[in-house]
């Protein structure tokens, strides 16, 4: 039997862990077809099926379960040995996998681009999703979430200053409809509704002097992506609710007008987080160092 590459074993463990070829393929950076071919080739060489597959589910066969139990610890030792060797590199290289939610990814993109310019031999694989994930179980090196959502067993690096929401509309909209003076006034205005990743409609969050208020706004359109909502607001369709960083340029240029600023106090800061690692790679260490400098510089300028 020919020697196998680690990708074949990583593929088996990823499918067993995720219970899905599609999810495992995303984790490994492969197409679903390529992953299926890798597993098919391994099964033919072993002479047994490792997975039971239907159109709706994937599960380990008895042979597959025994195979995973045997290779899991050994593969972990191999990866640790590789990490130990990589930690001795002088020049950062390899892949960094980062999990984030979309709004946070937009805010830290300048950090990622600066890192890639400094270390062109590193490839950053950034995955954005609304759900909270276990970054260790899902094969990520780092995660980005607000400070209050970082697991207690993780090391956290604050990123930049505290953030705020911004309620905005175009000057043209306010000329015809007037400006709301309190959150409850929004109920008589056209607003751009927001759908969350779980399918629920987002209730706009406000707070003043410790008094929180949630408003279930109404309006002509429901969207699930901030860039689309921004376009609708710029086209005078109504009032939008954004992260401040998403509309700073529009506010500075006068394309949008901000309201209810006293009802949108500072939020928790973003944090980069990761598990303790005995032998971090040169790329990992370089990214953490740059993230700390990025945070210090952006906090100092606000």
Compute the residue count for the chain: 302
What is the per-residue pLDDT across 184-239, written as a single tens digit (0 to 9) for each? 999 999 999 999 888 889 999 999 988 899 999 999 999 999 999 999 999 999 99
- With pLDDT > 70 as the criterion, what percentage of the chain qualifies? 94
| Summary mean pLDDT of the chain | 89
What is the per-residue pLDDT across 113-124, written as a single tens digit (0 to 9) for each? 999 999 999 999
**CB neighbour list of residue 150: distance below 8 Å, 6 or more residues apart:** 143, 156, 271, 273
Nearest of 230, 229, 243 to residue 193 by alpha carbon: 229
What is the per-residue pLDDT across 223-279, written as a single tens digit (0 to 9) for each? 999 999 999 999 999 999 999 999 999 999 999 999 999 999 999 899 999 998 767
Distance CA 239, CA 174 (A): 9
Instruction: Check residue 117 and give its pLDDT.
Output: 96
- DSSP notation for 156-211: EEEESS---EEEEE-HHHHHHH---SSGGGGGGS-BEEEB-TTSPBPPEEEEETTE
Domains delineated in the chain: 6-86 (1.10.10.10), 94-159+268-300 (3.40.190.10), 165-263 (3.40.190.290)
Distance CA 26, CA 130 (A): 16
């Amino acid at each position: 039997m020919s020697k196998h590459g680690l990708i074949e074993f990583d593929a088996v463990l990823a499918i067993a862990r995720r219970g899905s070829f599609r999810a495992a393929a995303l984790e490994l950076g492969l197409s679903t077809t390529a992953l299926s071919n890798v597993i098919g080739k391994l099964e033919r060489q072993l002479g047994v099926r490792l997975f039971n597959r239907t159109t709706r589910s994937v599960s380990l066969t008895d042979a597959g379960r025994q195979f995973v139990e045997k290779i899991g610890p050994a593969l972990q030792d191999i990866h640790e040995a590789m990490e130990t060797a990589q930690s001795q590199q002088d020049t950062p290289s390899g892949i960094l996998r980062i999990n984030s939610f979309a709004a946070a990814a937009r805010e830290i993109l300048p950090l990622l681009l600066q890192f890639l310019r400094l270390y062109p031999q590193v490839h950053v694989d950034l995955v954005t999703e609304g759900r909270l994930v276990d970054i260790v179980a899902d094969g990520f090196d780092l995660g980005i979430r607000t400070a209050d959502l970082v697991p207690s067993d993780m090391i956290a690096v604050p990123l930049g200053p505290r953030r705020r929401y911004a309620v905005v509309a175009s000057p043209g909209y306010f000329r015809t409809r007037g400006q709301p003076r309190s959150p409850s006034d929004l109920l008589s205005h056209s607003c751009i509704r927001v759908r969350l990743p779980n399918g629920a409609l987002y209730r706009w969050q406000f707070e003043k002097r410790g008094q929180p208020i949630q408003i279930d706004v109404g309006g002509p359109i429901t969207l699930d992506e901030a860039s689309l909502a921004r376009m609708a607001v710029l086209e005078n369709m109504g009032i939008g609710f954004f992260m401040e960083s998403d509309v700073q340029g529009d506010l500075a240029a006068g394309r949008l007008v901000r309201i209810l600023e006293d009802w949108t106090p500072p939020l928790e800061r973003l944090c980069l987080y990761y598990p303790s690692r005995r032998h971090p790679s040169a790329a990992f260490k370089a990214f953490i160092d740059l993230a700390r400098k990025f945070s210090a510089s952006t906090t100092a300028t606000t």
